[in-house]
Structure 1
Amino acid sequence: MGERYAELSALIGRVTRRWRTFTALAAWARAAAGCALVLAAAAAIGHFGHVDGGALILLWGVAAGLVSGVCVRALAPLRLAPRDLRVARLIEERCPELEDALVTAIGHRGADAGPMAAAVAEDAIRRARLLDLDRVIGREALRRAVLQAAAASLALGIAAFFSLAPAAQAARLLSLYVLPHRLGIDVQPGDVKVRAGASVRVVATLSTGDAVAPVLRTGSDGAWREIPMAKGPDGFAALLEGIQDSFRYTVTAAGASSPQYSVTVVRPPRVARIDLQYDYPAAFGMAPRREEDGGDIYGPAGTRVRITVHADKPVREAALNLTEGGVVRLAERSGALEGELTITRDDGYRVALADTDGLASDGDTEYFIRTLQDRPPDVRIVRPASDRQVTPLEEVSIEASADDDFAVASLDLVYSVAGGPERAVPFARSGEGTAVTGQRTVYLEDLRVRPGDVVAYYARARDASRGRRSSEARSDIFFLEVTPFEEEFVASQTQGGGGGGGGSDQGLEDLIQAQKDIITATWNLDRRARASGGRSAEDVRAVAKAQQELRTRATTMLRGMQRATDIRRRRPAGGAAPAGPDAMAEAVGRATVAMGSAYEQLDGLKTAGALPHEMSALNELLRAQAEVRRREIAQQASGTGGSGSNRRQQDMSSLFDRELAKQQQTNYETPSGRETRDEPKPADEVLDKVRDLAERQDALTGSQRDLARGRASVPEEERRRELERLTREQSELRRQAEALAQEMERSQPQGGRGGQSAQGQGQGAQQGRGAQGGQSAQAGQAGERQQASRALQQAAEEMQGAANELRRENPEQASARGSRAADRLRDVEQRVRGAQPDDRRRAIGELQLESRQLAEAERRLGGAAGGARGDGDRADRGRQRAAEQERLAERARRLEDGVRQLAGGAEGGDQQERSALGQAAQEVERQRLSERMREAAREERQAAGDQSGRAGQRGGVQPPSEADMQRERQEIARGLESVADRLGAAAGQGGASQQLSDELSSLRRQREELEALDRQLSELRQQGGEPESNQGGRDGQPGPSGQTAGGSGAWAAASELLKELRGENRGDVPETEGFNPGRSAPGTEGWKQDFEKWDRLKVQVAAALERAERSAADRLREQQSRDRLNAGATQAVPEQYRRLIEKYYRALATGEGK
């Protein structure tokens, strides 16, 4: 029995060995394939993902875990040995013919042997001997398992080969993280100083080689950033480019860090500011000048310039490198660098600096050195700047100004009397060396002129000689025509005999004016020839031709005079023949002779030689004209009969009074007698100068802006010349602005003293109180002018900055600063204008007129709203009204700006004026007139159906109705009238003017109400005449609708309006007495109402209101004119002093006391 079971056990053992071999091969194949896959994936990720550092450790840590898991999972079945019974069942499954005999025998192998068990065992053995083990686990399956295991092992080997290096690197990294002290990091260059913009290459060398890639960390103030370092031949390196600021850095690797190092940025020294001190040659007589924050040097040859350079850091040495060659050393003094040079030629320089760190700067900016040429002075007559007619006793104050590049040596008044030799007298000068003003009073009495003489005068200026001949410049030439007192006497003589000579006087007037033009042209040609050294022969001959033609005209007139003289000589009895020659004809004859001499000189191109003859011709013509007027007086006086002597004496007395009151132009009323005195600049002249500066600055700013826009297309040389020209012009404007600011400062105390002295002379107690009332206004004007002077100085500083920017070839910034300078000049203009009560009052009047004109235009626009028949016509008219409304809105905006400016600059006015202007400004802000007018224009367009209007309707916005727009226009007109009333109060409008203004506003409001009522009744009439609009009633009768309320309201409004018209305008609108609509309407239905009486009344009332409005407007204008006339200040001369002056004039006229 035991042998039988042993044979079965051997069979089970052979199958078990095959099974275990097959299972082991399969498990290894799975484990090797899984591990190979994991290792290959990790190696691929590390290689293509460039994983290093902690990520590398993590990657291979995860890979190791996965490999372990795969091995455990794949080899786990090998731990369990299969039991015999399980093997027997495997055999039974593969060999079904055993019919469970083997399983039954193995199952009873340990039981008590019995016949039945023996039989089963025998049967199992017999059947097993017939088995083929290949049917259970074949050799072919074992060979496949061996091949799979071998392939998996090969794949594992390959994956392990490629994974060995990164896995080992990960292991080394892990050891460095665990033990960081084992890693040494060497960093180069360590602490270093570099120039701004340079680059720094940081190299790190690790003691462990390239096991780990270090990281460069840079930062400052706690903000750090990391930069990966790349492997290089000398270690790991990182390049930092374009360094501008200092920072710290360190290198980290695998948890280890190097010490922190610093990179310090050092910059070469730069110029922070350059100050210039000019010391001009003594010959110029110019005071030293200091210019701060400059650089470019402009001055005459021989000027010593002390240059002070301020650097942004301590400097070891410094020098000025001149463009044309040469070096000027700079020495340190008081924390700055100073040097000195003398201007000898056009040049340039750069500032070279070197600091203690060894950094040097050759100078990025080149500064100009320009020698200014000494041009002739610019001289002009300021007052009177036109020809004048004067009397033989008049005193004429002449004022001139001269500007020179460096210094004005002399300023003279040159005049000649009656074509005689020129005489030169110096002006009383004021101002600095480069800008000089002069004043001189010409006493015509001392010149012993007589009627018909002409005094020609001009200003002459010379600059400093500087070792050479001075340059001379002349102004335009002007004339003082001496007229007889009889010219004033003629104006008072209203009766007398017929006068002859009117036509001769007109012809002489034309000849005189033409001769003046010829003298002016010759003078300008001669002046141009003196200035430029050459002249145009064609121009001189053209003047000669004009002189010859004028001589021909004078000769023709002379012949006519001679014929008239011959006729008078042959006059029959009854009239006395002239005893002597005709003085008028002789004067014209002498003028023609002088014209001929002038023509000869001009034909020979001798302008200087022609001028005396031309002046002589003009003087003779004026004498002839005086003779004509003298004859007129004689004829008129002779026609008065025997009482002529008494009449002449009375008229002479009237003449003296008129001469005394003539513009108060004599100096006898001042204590200074004939002394020349300094007078403050007239405000109009200052205003003109400021306005001229502003206009020139605007033009210069435009040129700078054009140059900035087109600098890329302009050649370098041309751009350089343009920059130099703009720089010169900007510097000239700056100099003139500074000179004007100084004049304004000097004029303030003088004006104050003069005002006080004028107030103190001859004023009574009442006038003294009036003067005290005006002192506050004068103080406000002085403060306003002081602020204007400061603003003008600020504008000059902006101009200086613009000039500096131009020298640095930066026209963009120059134009910006020029714009700011122009804005400041406009502010100065506004302040100067506001400081003058007359100008301010005139501006207020203009704004008041503009406000009333706008109100009237707004009403006319509202009246033109109707009249359109078709939709197309209505749309066109609406667009036209919208365009007109836009124009009115723009005018309203300018009106608002003007009111705000006047309110802001009203410090110089009295309390009433300031209060009224403030109320006007508040009314402007409250009404928002321009905004409302623009909104009305938009609504008009919307109602007209243009694009914007259709868009609004598509959006659900309903356009306003015609009545709403009409009411808005009337409100705007009333707002404009309110602004006009407040401006009238500011302009000193009296109570009567205010009452008339209120009356006019009331009439206009009533007219508007009449128009609105007429429109309402017209709508009611149309509704009553259209049955299709009333479908509520039966048999065509109108049913209950809105007409009831509309008719009652319109009729009640008509009643109230008529009551108001009767109460307020009983005398002006008598038409309202014959119509009474009653307390209620005769019927609210349209078919019951009769509008015929209302139509007639409307026409009559409208005409009456128009007459009343016109009458009120005329009365208002007259009252305002009286208010303006009464507003003028009176400076009365004391009566005793007046009598003394009158006595003096009488003595001069009658010859008493001689």
Structure 2
Amino acid sequence: MLLTGHRSQSPREDLLRVIRQVRHRWRLKIVLRGVAVMITASIVAFLLSAYGLEYFRFSAPAIITFRVLTYLTLTLLLIWSLLLPLSRRVSDELVALYLEEHEPSLQASVLSALEESGKPDASSRDDMSPALIRRLIEVTVEKCDSIDSGRAVERRSLQRTSGALVGLAATSAMLLLFGPGYLRHGLSAVAFPHRSIETVSPYKIVVAPGNVTIARGTDQVITAELVGFETEKVELYSRSHASVPYEPLMLVTGLKENQYEVMLFDIGEATDYFVQSSGIRSPVYTIEVIDIPFVERLELEYHFPPYTELPPRTIEDGGDIAVLRGTEVRVRAVPTTETLGGRFVINEETILPMDRQPDGSFKTSFTVETSGFYRIDLEDHDGAMITASSQHTIEVLDDQPPVVGFEKPGRDITASSVEEIFVEAKANDDFGVQALELVYAINGSDDKVLELFNNPEDAPYETSAGYTFFLEEFGLEPGDLISYYARARDSATGDKSNVGTSDLYFIQIRPFGKNFLPAESQAGMGGGGGAGAASPDALSQQQREIVSATFNIVRDRSEYSDEEFRENVVFLALAQGKLREEVQTLLGRLNSRVVNVDPAFVEISEILPQAVTSMQRAEETLQTQNAKDALPPEQHALRMLQRAEATYEEVRVAMESQGGGGGGGSGGRQSAAEDLADLFELELDKLQNQYETLQSAQQQLADTKLDETLERLKELARRQEQEA
């Protein structure tokens, strides 16, 4: 037992020691309970303050109010839950009663022993002997020893209170770490009253130029940057006299994100202003005005690049500049009062001196190469350079390339290998077309360039020229193709010259007899008629769209970001791979069903692998992001597909011409032709459906991604004239 080895000579001292220990545990309970109350109240107070500050957007009055309310509440709770209970004097008798209430086994012995031990010495008493009193106290102390001197009193209550404190601390930490950001900002604003209101608010409006001194009568741009929040409505409030109310003025979106701006014109008096949005308000700033030189009138004279052949243009009341790149701008600034010096500042970096003229004006000139801003500074009476004009913009207008197209034929065509095909290209440009060229390639070979027009001395605004393809000279076969496009160069010289390119068109070589087939022979191969019949040129049609799409993204490379261009090339590689798989499937079925029946079928089975090989090369080239080098194998694959379809067409026509005989010799060949037609129809109907037919609900769910791929391919292959 705790007191056995520490007994004093006086049993009364041992009893008082027990009383003191119980009193300490009583006070410990009060302290723990008070601390728990304080922590709980603090959490609630800070949460309410954070919500309130967020509601009032951390305004200065709100921060001050919640600071006062929070600390006043916590102070009152501290007094009520800790200071008052601890300041109460607890007598030994009350402690004895407290101990006996929680330990009934003591049977009021502690209070009795305490009362008897506190009475006068037994030698002067007649009611009880000293030995009996001493023995009473000793028995009481022994009973207290048996219950560990009262340490079990309120043990569970103390444990619950301690656990509650740990839980509250963990809850507070979780709220601060994972709760909304405004909780942390609210805690910072309330828990650290020594910090300024400006530093604790997460929301603020940064205003430029703030307090500033300008020349009387000049304009001033006010910019406001929103920090910590976003909104669409930002207002500036200004007034020229303290006796008049502030007048609101809406700000417009600036160049940077979350930045707004407004122009105050012709400021003639000192002006107070502030910016407000969504309950957030900036400090009040002052624009002081003094009588110093500033630009009263600004004259601009544009001298355009020589290739435009445009005459000089004078802007008497100048300001913002928007001209072609390479334009020389001559500036004349007229100040309000005489001054000895001036300078022309571009983008806060380039400073050009301005020459003072006899009439007191200032002149300078510069060539526009990049967009930006400019202002004019003048020398004041003290010799310092001060801002003497508003900030004006400089916008570079890039010269657009010529618009190029074809008047004739203006579409893809088919022709026999002995025809003469006339094409007519046209081009127009705002400042003149210097040259017009026709670029063509046969079966995906190297480009050949023909000059249709070249007149650098007198470039017309619009021109057209033609060329005739004598197809017989090229030795072409059915299925071969000629791809061609036109390009034009404007009248600008050197690196400034712009080149415009037309869409890519195709001339497909067809068999001689195709134009003379009966109408019913052209109806398709399904035998049933109607829209469901598949045309044999669907495979080459999709490959033709891949070629056109590749040509378009190469031509329009400057219009795409790096990410957009990469995505388009990856998409074309996927589209080429899907079509290659379609052709491989068709080839496998062809070899297993009809290839041994007729030599013509063998020819088709030999042509299609060449198309697959070229598609594979094109796909691999596209995967390396080299779209330009993918065009030759793409066109070769197109040629092979067209040649296979031309061979198939010849077989079909031959079968139709023999269909009326019904002889046994032709029966097997006729059956093979029908099988071949079924194969084409099987594969091509899939493509037809992918392009045009809405599938059932289950098929739509399965084919949505593929349909989107084909639709995107059509979009990339779309021609400019179709868009126009």
Name the TM tier (shorter chain): 0.3 to 0.5
Structure 2 length normalisation: TM-score? Answer: 0.39
Higher RCO by CA contacts (8 Å cutoff, separation 6 or greater): 2
Structure with the larger helix share: 1
Structure with the larger strand share: 2
Structure number with bigger Rg: 1
